[in-house]
Structure 1
Amino acid sequence: MSKAVRVSDTPYGVDVTATKAYFWCACGQSSTQPFCDGSHKGTEFTPIKYVADESKRVFFCGCKQTANQPLCDGSHNNNK
């Protein structure tokens, strides 16, 4: 299994809208971080769909190592 590119050492704070779907970049290659732009094509990676349960600010993982995909779980603090 390939390892995703570590894009950021901090999460991306995004104001999401209730019931809207967002597609988080799992590979780290997207130029529209933290969201997918299709750069994963031809790899084993696929974007992770996130549907907001309410309108609020959430923190999408930037290091791509979270166990709580697509949201940050603090993994960026490990193994820098």
Structure 2
Amino acid sequence: MSSQAIVASKTPHAVDVEAGKDYYWCSCGRSKAQPFCDGSHQGTTFTPQKYTAAESKTVYFCGCKQSASSPLCDGAHKQL
């Protein structure tokens, strides 16, 4: 199986997060529950990345899986 992440989306996912809550971002791009992990990484070298919301607000989770600021979008999708 490839060690390269699948580009799940060429746009970020806007999510309203709740302060203190943990979110598990899909790093492999295989999840059917984007941008979150559904366990589809099993058998790969990928693991979900935990994100704990510091405050309640809208954040933009990376959809392309190429962000240097993962799990949040840094605009890397604009280069794809």
TM-score, normalised to structure 1's length?
Answer: 0.96
Say whether 1:72 aligns with 2:73: yes
Give the secondary-structure state (helix, strand or coil) at the position aligned to 1:45: coil
Which residue does 1:42 correspond to in 2? Answer: 43
Query: Which residue identity lines up with residue 71 of structure 1 in the other structure?
Result: L
Query: Which residue identity lines up with residue 46 of structure 1 in the other structure?
Result: T
Query: Which residue identity lines up with residue 11 of structure 2 in the other structure?
Result: T
- Unaligned regions of 5+ residues in structure 1, if any? none
Once residues 18 and 33 of structure 2 are traced to their aligned partners in structure 1, the CA distance between those partners, rounded to angstroms, is 18
How many positions carry a matched residue from both structures?
A: 79
- Unaligned regions of 5+ residues in structure 2, if any? none
How far residue 2 of structure 1 moved from its aligned partner, in angstroms, is 1.2
Query: Which residue identity lines up with residue 74 of structure 1 in the other structure?
Result: G
Which residue does 2:53 correspond to in 1? Answer: 52
Give the secondary-structure state (helix, strand or coil) at the position aligned to 1:27: coil
RMSD after superposition: 0.9
Which residue does 1:6 correspond to in 2? Answer: 7
Indicate the percent of aligned positions where both proteins have the same amino acid. 62
Aligned structure 1 segments of 4 or more residues deviating by more than 3 angstroms: none
Once residues 61 and 31 of structure 1 are traced to their aligned partners in structure 2, the CA distance between those partners, rounded to angstroms, is 15
